[in-house]
Amino acid sequence: MTLAATELCLRSAAVTLLLVLAASMFADFRKLPAGRLVIAFALGAAAHAVTASIGAGAPVPAWQAPLIALSTGAIVVFWLFTRALFDEAFKLRWWHGLIWAAVVAYSYVNCMWIAPAGHARIAIIMVNSLTLVFIALAVGQTITSWSADLVERRRRVRVFIVAASALYGGMNALLQIAYAGSRVTVEWANLLNVAVLTAIVAAITWAMMRVDGADLFTVPAEAVVLVKPVAAEEAADQKLVDALMRLMADERIYRHDNITIGTLATRLKIPEYRLRRLINQRLGYRNFNVFLNNHRIEEAKAALADPAQAEVPVITIAMDAGFQSLGPFNRAFKATTGVTPTEYRRLKASAV
């Protein structure tokens, strides 16, 4: 089999797997933000699998330009997917769509006007440098939020998905840039590119379709099912839960600066993985920061409702409860109560 025929077979396999993944996610998770982003990313990646070609001459065929633009925009969707997957409070905003549209438009302009005008190498380098920026943002999101994730299987799967996708995206961008500098031959660059893409797509599809959706995606609170321990574990777990809640209620350890799950595990003299499992499976939290913030907000609510503290500034109450600044406090408070801290204080005062 020739290199070209092998490449075509691999492209077809990658596109098929991505369409199967998109259909599966649409059937089960289309109502969830992360699910919709997976679908959008799978379709954008399918467009990439169809059009990805290192060393393609300019101008590109008119029918390919929209697909290339959509495939470039998929990297923005990938970044947003990592946000939705790892950040429990993430919400899609209008400006996310604006960023995606800007990247897609820039890629289309590159295909139709910049590259044909004799600036093909510059166009390739610019678009793929932009891709590397969004990959870096996605990887950075993964690193900064990984320690707070309490869902064990999601921790493993998300690292695999992001690492694999970032590996391919980075390799593709670097191959494009390397070819622009005439450092690799086009036939082998394209074959390597498509082979790695197909292998990663197969692995991601397998991982996404075998994991429980409740482990991977944020589900409504009423859908969370706490794990019932067996009798032999129940007493030991309850002692640990009681000790943990004493640290929260009596010592108010959530007030401490830079409190981590490792700090709590050390105080309880248990391995960190066991404390993660305890907070997730016995208390129902998916994120350590949400667990801490709930305790902080409960303290703030009590202070805001206390007539004796009516003149205490909101920022003082927020800082005393363990928040580092007013912005995150206001967002977390409103997400929990539905009103701002000032509105909450006013409502409590009028009820007296």
Domain boundaries, the chain: 3-216, 222-351
Q: Residue 86: what residue type?
A: F
Q: How far is CA 37 from CA 33, 190, 211, 324, in A?
A: 6, 27, 17, 31
Residue pLDDT, tens place only, 39-61:
999 999 999 888 877 665 556 77
Q: What is the pLDDT of residue 313?
A: 94
Q: Model confidence at 257, in pLDDT bands (50, 70, 90)?
A: confident
- Name the β-bridge partners of 287: 149
For residue range 79-121, what is the model confidence (pLDDT) as tens digits?
A: 998 888 877 778 889 999 999 999 999 999 988 887 776 676 7
CATH architecture, range 222-351: Orthogonal Bundle (1.10)
Distance of CA 46 to the CA centre of its chain: 20
Q: Which residues fall within 8 angstroms of residue 225, CB to CB, at 6 or more apart? A: 214
Q: Would the pLDDT of 181 be above 60?
A: no
Is the domain covering 3-216 a CATH 1.20.1070.10 domain? yes
**What is the distance between the alpha carbons of residues 234 and 111, in angstroms, rounded to a whole number?**
62
Residue count of the chain: 352
Work out whether the CA dihedral 191, 196, 199, 202 comes out positive or negative: negative
What is the b/e burial string over 140-176, where b = at least 16 CB atoms within 10 angstroms of the residue's CB?
A: ebbeebeebbbbeebbebbeebbebbbebbbebbebb
Instruction: Work out the pLDDT band at 337, boundaries 50, 70, 90.
Output: very high
pLDDT of residue 231: 57
- Per-residue pLDDT band for 297 (boundaries 50, 70, 90) equals very high
Residue 334 has pLDDT above 70, yes or no: yes
Residue bearing the bigger pLDDT, 136 or 272: 272
Q: How far apart are CA 264 and CA 253, in angstroms?
A: 9
